[in-house]
Amino acid sequence: MDNRIRTEREQREWTQAGLAEHLEVSRQTVVALETGKYDPSLPLAFRIAGLFGKPIEQLFFPTGVRNEQRL
């Protein structure tokens, strides 16, 4: 699954450690999420979406979906 976590984090000028603190996860988890090595649990995906003020479908999408198909 691809995601916009890094983009959203960088737009807010947050560090990976800062985002991890907000989400109550490790910085390594944030790295794994941003690089697509780890897909979040549904509760974590909802926390991420809530923190960024975006619907889940604007943050997470199937791998290979072209940019113009994303919301």
Provide the residue ranges of all domains of the chain, joining segments of one domain with +: 2-56
pLDDT in tens, 41-70: 999 999 999 999 999 999 998 887 755 555
Cα 29 to Cα 20: distance, rounded to the nearest angstrom = 8
Domain 2-56: which CATH number of 2.60.40.10, 1.20.140.10, 2.30.42.10, 1.10.260.40: 1.10.260.40
pLDDT confidence of residue 60: 94
More confident residue, 25 or 71: 25
pLDDT of residue 1: 87
Residues 18-45: tens digit of each pLDDT? 999 999 999 999 999 999 999 999 999 9
In whole angstroms, give the CA distance from residue 2 to residue 61. Answer: 5
Residue 66, by phi and psi: left (phi above 0), alpha (psi -120 to 50) or beta? beta
Residue 40 and residue 12 in contact, taking contact as beta carbons nearer than 8 Å: no
Cβ contacts of 57 within 8 Å, gap of 6 or more: 71
pLDDT recorded at residue 69: 52
CA 33 to chain centre: 6
pLDDT for position 27: 98
Dmax over Cα atoms in the chain, in whole Å? Answer: 32
